[in-house]
Structure 1
Amino acid sequence: MTHLPYLIMDLALILGAAAIVTLLFKKLKQPVVLGYIIAGFFVGPHFHWLPTVYEPTNIQIWAEIGVIFLLFSLGLEFSFKKLIKVGAPASVTAVFEVVAMIALGFGTGQLLGWNFMDSLFLGGILSISSTTIILRAFDELNVKTQRFASLVFGALIVEDLVAIVLLVLLSTLALSQQFAGAEMLQSVLKLVFFLVIWFAAGIFFLPTFLKKTKKLMNEETLLVVSLSLCLLMVWFANSVGFSPALGAFIMGSILAETTQAEKIEHLVKPVKDLFGAIFFVSVGMLIDPKMLVEYAGPIALITLITIIGKVLSTTFGALLAGQSLQTSVQAGFSLAQIGEFSFIIATLGVTLKVTSAFLYPIAVAVSAVTTLTTPYLIQSSRPFYKWLEKILPEKVQNALSGPGSKAKDTQSLSAWNQVVRSTLLNTFLLGMLLICIVMVSAEYALPYIRNHYTDGSWVKWATAFITLLLMLPFLYALAVRNTNSVAYREVLASNRYNGRLNLIHFFRLILAGSFIGFLMHRFFSFEAGLLSVLVIAVIIGVFNKKIRKFYDRIEARFMRNFNERELAAAEKNRSELAPWDAHIATLELHPESAVIGKTLMELHWREQLGINVVLIKRGEHSIPAPGRNERVYPGDEIFVLGSDAQIKRLQAIIRPIKHHDEEETNPANVVLRDFVIDEKSSLLNKTIRGSGIRERIKGIVVGVERNNQRILNPESFFEFQQNDVVFVVGDGKLINKLIHEHH
């Protein structure tokens, strides 16, 4: 009989237990993650009524792979562009909440008499909310389209990045075992440096590579290439002193900017689900009931502090960011839990052996309780706001709904501010690239050549010369090149800021010279650096046009790759119907817009504005050249043809209705739902008009599926038959009531 390795038996045990428990949790409509953790407890060493894993060490290795793929998938959903787009409110809310919870968690640990590292890791564990749990709860409660949901999603994106920084800082602190400000600052600067370099190099090379090899890649090849890129970045991150999770997250965020992002995310999902399941099962294996009983008091206290602390800190953070009281309260109640990142931070403490044995089970227990309370907290957020509205004095309410709540996320910047911002950003990126070139050449290339080939005196000169050639286009861009943007031309034409512009140009020249001196100092001496500055200045002056062309090509390729997804979408939607000053614009219809539910004939956009609707995109379904009887629904993307002035007037018309209070602004949870007409339904053989559906749900019947054929926008005399699947848009609560009464 062939010997079966313990690893296979262990996997069979943990996956079998996970399958049974998660099926039960699906039936009970509870989070699957919680099921995995309980399954891990059942097959762990502390539960003796079932077989136990033979080799926990091997399972831990698989769990580490699970963390890598979890972070890789998170990076694919992250995208640095999303971080830029979330705006100030989400950023302020997330950062305030994270800082407050770290302080609150640390203070709680100290109050309980824990040591410094346990208290600090507790703060980190409590600071990050669970994206997985919130997304699932929002789906089940049908609140993804409500105003506060967009703030929550933005805050989660910011929290993901903050969690990565937190992992690096906690690792540094754990290894040094002391709070050294200079060392922490060095770690942050090192992290920023590598983030910029990885991101810049990745965006420059990877989209081009995927584009060139697209015809050669089927789904299998793309999956293998994606996972290999992920693991290569994991290896590289580990080599330079960062956690493997950081490398996986960065590679995911780079691939998120490519046109293949959705496909890669789809292909990686089964791998992530498999290894993620093993990770969460391994988390459950560490649960010790005796320890939970022993620390029942701290668990209850920390759970209470987590819920109350997150509700209050998120609410105050959102209010500081200029959000209304209702939006702030609902966001606070939504983010009141901990999840996957908390497990990763707790795992880090165990791996580095700097936290006590009780901290990990406590984190798991708090996560389990807050996971169960999340849906109920989200549901109770609106009634709680109503109660607050009744008890708060009118002056306080007016202060909380003052000018800040009506401010936009971004304000138009003056031309001068735009020039300053773009100059600072370009200087920062170019500086990072130049430092990277010098460090790689001095620390890796030169020692490698000397050790493996020759150690002649000419080697240093040759390496320095080649390094200068590589730096040349970036030195040119830093010292000489001016942007040809509209803002820069406006500033130049105004003659108001000439003195400041000259000062900026002088600063750029000095900075470029400093980088040349930095290179020569690494290889030779300060005097050689001064001489090199003069030589480079002459070269740039003589070959100015050629260097500019070369750099322009580099920049154009980077920007093309960086905007690849947007360019592909624009190309897909591009139309040749606008040979005059009109153009195609895409507008999304807000659920609270006054035009929702009306036909194009009722809206009279063509007659009143001169606007033509050329396409309506509804989810995955597109309606080209829609007819006059076509209705528009919440979330529709409408592609319209018109001039700038016409489109601006249309934007004003479709803008959400503004009311004096938020209760009126968001009167209903508008959702799309479907239900089946069975033999017991009271709607059977009734027409749409006769059924009274429109009045009862404050919405409309948008389609009927009969015998696998879909009938869109059926007429009012349409008669329902048995087994019809009816699609309606309206108030979610009223739709649920209708379905319950007629079945």
Structure 2
Amino acid sequence: MMLLPHLPWPSALLLEAAPAEADSSLILAGVLLSLVVIYFASKLGGELSKLVNLPPVLGELVGGVVVGVSFLHLLIFPEGGATASDSLLITVLETVAGLTPEAAAGVFQSQGEVVSVLAELGVIVLLFEIGLESDLRELQKVGYQAALVAIVGVVAPFAGGTLGLMFFFHVTAIPAIFAGAALTATSIGITSKVLSEIGRLKSTEGQMIVGAAVIDDVLGIIVLAVVASLAKTGEVDLVNVAWLIVSATVFLLGAIFLGKFFNRSFEAVAQSLQTRGNLVIPALTFALIMAFLANVIHLEAILGAFAAGLVLDETDLRKELDRQIMPIADILVPIFFVSVGAKADLGVLNPFVAENRAGLVIAVFLLAIAIVGKLVTGWVVFGTPGINRFAIGVGMIPRGEVGLVFAGIGSASGVLDKPLEAAIIIMVILTTFLAPPFLRIAFQQSPPLDPTPDPNPAAS
């Protein structure tokens, strides 16, 4: 550094910037290695799952578990409390590039953030596809029943979990309410992917499950706002809750209503463009705008993407758009599912660790409530003879990434003690992994819908 004053100042600036550039290149190297691991785990897990006649999404989740924090430590994320020394990929970079511990920590943090953003983009594309595959007219037919399924699917597990924890395990009110709230979630991404893979997305049950899961997601956000307020202040911010209810209702209904007028403009724009991507780029731009609008009014971005898909489902260009979106989804969606599996720490299932034992006992109770509380939703459907009620209930079971969000917020706020936090994580893991195979079994009770299910469904 003593030589810098003797150099022309642009050269000095370049030398000072060199470490930052090196760090950026190593961040990119870490992300590239992470993607190699993700795609390998995704394809291997999906193919093995297909061989034993299970939904490929289950194989992607299991592949994520194998390469994640539970086993190989190849795909590790800092938000779980891990450090750079826990990641085998960072160890490889340290060996190859001679990273210092300080630089390794920065690369680890940035790499995890980039992969998480790619995973979020993956689930946005997935929900956009599900919206495209869904039939808005069919969704409207089952809308009131889907709403009833969603409400029961929130109230039943919330009440059962909260009251059961207080009565049987003597958990105090606020932690019990938080744990009960974690039971209300439904992972629309996992369920919709399985429905698409088995050719049941357009069935009456499939449309009812997707509609209920969307409404359930909105209700889950409202419940989360309530319990987060309780955790911080001990009081509920009624103004915030009212705002969420109004904004969610206006957003979803407004998107569907305006879509009737937007379709013609979209088709005109797509047909007037002459360069590559004339259809898929405007469509994805619309989906991202809708996801952004949902996000800024404190809803989930995936709700905006789903609404965008529903809107464009009405266009005459939908089939071609489905075909063009598919390869984009093939690249981004596996990042989401493998990341969900990688973040699931199966170490909390180890009964030989003393602090896990209390959590395991509570987890058995929460798992029972989580399953029963969603299964009963199928039996509130009425006026539809021959409906597969069991399949509807099973489709609402997986908690996935939504349940992990609840656990993470509860842990960060200090509301949950270690046994209760471990119990929630166990419940999330088991419902996520049990639902896909049982959903396939549940639909075996129904007559075939598609004579030949699509071997390469759009959400695959």
The question of a shared fold, defined as TM-score above 0.5 by the shorter chain, is answered with yes
Match of 2:329 in 1: 272
**1:61 aligned to which of 117, 123, 129:** 117
**Partner residue of 1:256?**
313
Q: How does 1:54-133 map to 2 (within 5 A)?
A: 54=90, 55=108, 56-78=112-134, 80-86=136-142, 92-93=148-149, 95-108=151-164, 110=166, 111=168, 113=171, 114-125=175-186, 130-133=191-194
Counterpart of 1:314 in structure 2 is 378
Match of 1:45 in 2: 69
Matched, 1:346 2:403: yes
What are the Cα deviations for residues 440-468 of structure 1, in whole angstroms up to 9, with x where unaligned?
A: xxxxxxxxxxxxxxxxxxxxxxxxxxxxx
Q: Does 1:205 align with 2:262?
A: yes
Per the normalisation by structure 2, the TM-score is 0.68
Contact 1:105-1:124 at 8 Å conserved across structures: no
Partners in 1 of 2:324 and 2:250 — Cα distance?
Answer: 31
Paired residues for 1:411-450 under 5 Å? none
**424, 433, 438: which one aligns with 1:368:** 433
Distance in 1 (CA, whole Å) between partners of 2:375 and 2:295 is 36
Q: Which moved more, 1:41-50 or 1:61-70?
A: 41-50
> In the alignment, residue 256 of structure 1 is paired with which amino acid?
D
Relative to total residues, which structure has the larger helix share, 1 or 2? 2
Other structure's SS at 2:54 match: coil
Shift of 1:68: 1.6
- C-alpha distance in 2, partners of 1:59/1:273? 16
Once the two structures are TM-superposed, the CA of residue 11 in structure 1 deviates from its matched residue by 0.8
Match of residue 194 from structure 1:
251
- Cα deviation for residue 209 of structure 1 reads 3.3
- Asked if the contact 2:64–2:338 (Cα under 8 Å) also holds between the matched residues in 1, the reply is yes
| Partners of 2:38 and 2:65 in 1: CA distance | 10
Question: Which structure: larger Rg?
Answer: 1
Whether the 8 Å CA contact 2:161–2:176 is kept in 1: the answer is no
2:340 equivalent to 1:288: no
> Aligned-pair distance for 1:368?
0.9
Deviation at 1:171, TM superposition (A): 4.7
- Given candidates 41, 47, 51, the residue that maps to 1:23 is 47
1:279 Cα deviation from its structure 2 partner: 1.0
Letter in 1 for 2:433: A
AA of the residue aligned to 1:221: N
**Structure 1, residues 363-418: CA drift from partner, whole Å, max 9, x if none?**
12222123333344455x69xxxxxxxxxxxxxxxxxxxxxxxxxxxxxxxxxxxx
CA distance in 1, matches of 2:220, 2:306: 12
Is structure 2 residue 216 aligned with structure 1 residue 166? no
Q: Structure 1 residues 215, 376: closer, same or farther in 2, change over 3 A?
A: same
**Change in 2 beyond 3 A, CA 1:299/1:30:** farther
Alignment of 1:534-683 (within 5 A): none
Distance 2:189 2:212 in 1: 6
Instruction: Report how many aligned residue pairs link the two structures.
Output: 373
* TM-score of the superposed pair, with normalisation by structure 1: 0.44
> Amino acid of the residue matched to residue 273 of structure 1?
D
- Structure-to-structure mapping, 1:503-514, within 5 angstroms: none
Distance (Å, rounded) in 1 between the aligned partners of 2:51 and 2:373: 32
Deviations 1:459-487 (A, max 9, x none): xxxxxxxxxxxxxxxxxxxxxxxxxxxxx
Q: CA deviation at 1:287?
A: 2.0
Higher relative contact order (CA 8 A, sep 6+): 2
CA distance in 1, matches of 2:265, 2:285: 17
> What residue in structure 2 maps to residue 413 of structure 1?
none
In 1, the alpha carbon distance for the partners of 2:280 and 2:439 equals: 34
Q: 1:12 to 1:366 in 2, by over 3 A?
A: same
Given residue 314 of structure 1, which amino acid in structure 2 is its aligned partner?
A: G
Shift of 1:80: 4.0
Which is richer in strand? 1
CA distance in 1, matches of 2:157, 2:259: 34
Amino acid at match of 1:24: L
Per the TM alignment, residue 337 of structure 1 is displaced from its structure 2 partner at its CA by 4.6
Q: Are the counterparts in 1 of residues 65 and 342 from structure 2 also a CA contact under 8 Å?
A: yes
Matched, 1:230 2:254: no
Return 5+ residue gaps in structure 2 as ranges: 1-21, 75-86, 91-107, 351-355, 454-460
1:8 paired with 2:32, answer yes
Which whole-Å CA distance do the structure 1 matches of 2:228 and 2:449 have between them?
52
